[in-house]
Structure 1
Amino acid sequence: MARFTAPDGLNLHYIDSLDAPGAHDGPAILCLAGLTRNSEDFRFVLPFLPEYRVIRMDYRGRGQSDWAHDITTYSVAQEAEDAIALMDHLGLERATILGTSRGGLIAMLLAATHPQRLNGAILNDIGPEIAPGGLERIFEYVGQRPTFANYDAAADALVALMAPRFAGVTRDRWRIHAELIWNQASDGLDLRYDPRLRDALLGQAGAGPAPDLWALWDALAQLPVTVLQGANSDLLNAEILARMQARAPDMRAVTVPDRGHVPFLDERAALEGILSHLKDFA
């Protein structure tokens, strides 16, 4: 199990495709997952990237990484510095960021603070502004243990719950998804992250108005950037995407049909956007 030491001494987990037998040492892609997700967030896109060196990181408190002693370090700023520490650990001068949700916010901050380390970024259903309904939904589930007894029960529930935003997704896919985001415990499914992440978010929300992220977007817009949007997303709506395009005329925008927040990344439209970006800019 590959691990590295963060600046504050925490041990964090990552997966480097170069460690696999017969791996191809191509251009580096640093995959940064969603808020409560982990390195398995990119399981479905990985088979389509054999020509690239794909590095997947578990943020502090998520997946197989250590939980933080100080929950205030569950922040975009700290996670951005952790990403740079991982690149330093691997001897990577530059990488393309593939950032899902929270990972896209980290990419924006890195573009402002460490632009020389980025070749560009692909954002999966995230922008510098979050639609209010999406933010409310996030606070409904963060830190809350699922109520499902097992993965089969979770799959059945996800089919019913997600169908309006994820048309055509099979029960088998939802079961795999459940396995990637939750652990099976003796008394039911459990979180694969530190539940105190909720306390950290609430503390940050109570500290004052949210920072204006549009300046960070302007920094990222100086680099090659592609934005994937789920057509049914409640976080990145068409209005926000249009404002992003207006401030970044060279941005490539891809809408993924029949997907909410977030696309799995192996959809036809998502793959076309990802592979086109990597071919031109990685």
Structure 2
Amino acid sequence: MPTFTTSDGLSLHYTDEGAGLPVLCLAGLTRDGRDFDFVAPHLEGVRLIRLDYRGRGQSDWGDPATYQIPVEGRDAVELLNHLGIDKAAVLGTSRGGLIAMLLAATVKDRLLGVVLNDIGPEIAPEGLEVIKDYLGKPPLLKTHAEMAAARARVLTGFPNVPQERWLQEAQILFNETEDGLELTYDPRLREAVVEGGAQPVPDLWPLFDALSGLPLACIRGANSDLLSPATFAEMKKRRPDMVAVEVPDRGHIPFLDEPECLNALRRWLDMLR
């Protein structure tokens, strides 16, 4: 199992597959490298690198105080250093996109380009409340099949998703045990997020503006409750060269293998080559 050791001593898991343009995949808040299972088969001619953040997936758990975007950004750079990669493109889903923007503001020379999957410099409060509602709480359901059925019923903004996809999603997000479903991340992640929410919300637009000059794409679920239409419009205004697409019948987050996503990703990759 490929791992590397961070500067503060944690062992973090990653995968490194393919050859060509290095693309570093950074997942959502509670997710891991498997977040990109659906899109990976469609990304040809790239070296796909997927990181499990600290406290997620197969990586070590740490002090919850370190489950912060600046630390996770440092981990991402240390992974590139470990692999001997000077520059990489970043495909960032949700939290991964926030990390990508921070990297643009701090180590821009390490970036080739960025994709923001359903995330921007303003986070809609209603979407954030949805996340806080489930964050760190073990599910009451017992099997992947039960969870798949529940997600199909409960998740708004995702009509016309086949049941098989919900089952695949459940298998990524939860471990099935004899005692029921378990989280695939440290539940103390909730502490870090709640503590962060008690602080004044920083202005993230300077981080978005730091992406200037980098090939940029943004994918928005048309029914997203995290990336608002107004924020998306302002992003397009500030970056008229940005590849910008909305994915119908998707909320937060698109799976990335939808036709609109694949088209946007191919256009973005063409800009990098």
> Paired residue for 1:243?
234
SS where residue 15 of structure 2 aligns? Answer: strand
> Paired residue for 2:60?
66
1:71 shift after superposition = 1.2
Q: Match for 1:188 among 180, 183, 200? A: 180
Question: Deviations 1:12-59 (Å, cap 9, x if unpaired)?
Answer: 0000004xxxxxx21000000000000100000000113110000000
Aligned AA (2:232)? L
Q: Match for 2:45 among 24, 44, 51? A: 51
Query: CA–CA distance in 2 between the matches of 1:245 and 1:266?
Result: 22
> Paired residue for 1:220?
211
Q: Match for 1:148 among 116, 127, 141? A: 141
SS where residue 244 of structure 2 aligns? Answer: strand
SS where residue 258 of structure 1 aligns? Answer: coil
Contact kept in structure 1, 2:218 and 2:244, CA below 8 Å: yes
**Following superposition of structure 1 onto structure 2, how do residues 3-18 of structure 1 map, counting pairs within 5 Å?**
3-18=3-18
Contact kept in structure 1, 2:91 and 2:116, CA below 8 Å: yes
Q: Unaligned regions of 5+ residues in structure 1, if any?
A: 19-24
1:7 shift after superposition = 1.3
Aligned AA (1:58)? D
Aligned AA (1:2)? P
Q: Match for 1:81 among 74, 77, 81? A: 74
Query: CA–CA distance in 1 between the matches of 2:270 and 2:15?
Result: 23
Q: Match for 1:107 among 100, 113, 126? A: 100
Contact kept in structure 2, 1:221 and 1:251, CA below 8 Å: no
Aligned AA (1:228)? I
Query: CA–CA distance in 2 between the matches of 1:257 and 1:6?
Result: 39
Provide the aligned C-alpha RMSD in A. Answer: 0.9
SS where residue 269 of structure 2 aligns? Answer: helix
Query: CA–CA distance in 1 between the matches of 2:70 and 2:167?
Result: 33
SS where residue 261 of structure 1 aligns? Answer: coil
Percent identity reads 52
> Paired residue for 1:126?
119
Aligned AA (1:158)? R
> Paired residue for 1:281?
272
1:249 shift after superposition = 2.3
1:107 shift after superposition = 0.3
1:262 shift after superposition = 0.2
1:149 shift after superposition = 0.7
Q: How many residues align?
A: 273
Query: CA–CA distance in 2 between the matches of 1:7 and 1:251?
Result: 35
Contact kept in structure 2, 1:182 and 1:190, CA below 8 Å: yes
Question: Deviations 1:108-130 (Å, cap 9, x if unpaired)?
Answer: 00000000000110110000001
Query: CA–CA distance in 2 between the matches of 1:250 and 1:279?
Result: 14
Tell me whether 1:203 sits opposite 2:195 in the alignment: yes
1:211 shift after superposition = 1.3
1:89 shift after superposition = 0.3
Contact kept in structure 2, 1:100 and 1:126, CA below 8 Å: yes
1:250 shift after superposition = 1.8
> Paired residue for 1:257?
248
Contact kept in structure 1, 2:87 and 2:109, CA below 8 Å: yes
Query: CA–CA distance in 1 between the matches of 2:139 and 2:212?
Result: 38
Question: Deviations 1:114-148 (Å, cap 9, x if unpaired)?
Answer: 00000110110000001111011010011011111
Q: Unaligned regions of 5+ residues in structure 2, if any?
A: none
Aligned AA (1:62)? R
Question: Deviations 1:69-92 (Å, cap 9, x if unpaired)?
Answer: x21110000000000000000000
Aligned AA (1:77)? P
| Structure 1 outlier segments of 4+, above 4 Å | none
SS where residue 179 of structure 1 aligns? Answer: helix
Contact kept in structure 2, 1:95 and 1:117, CA below 8 Å: yes
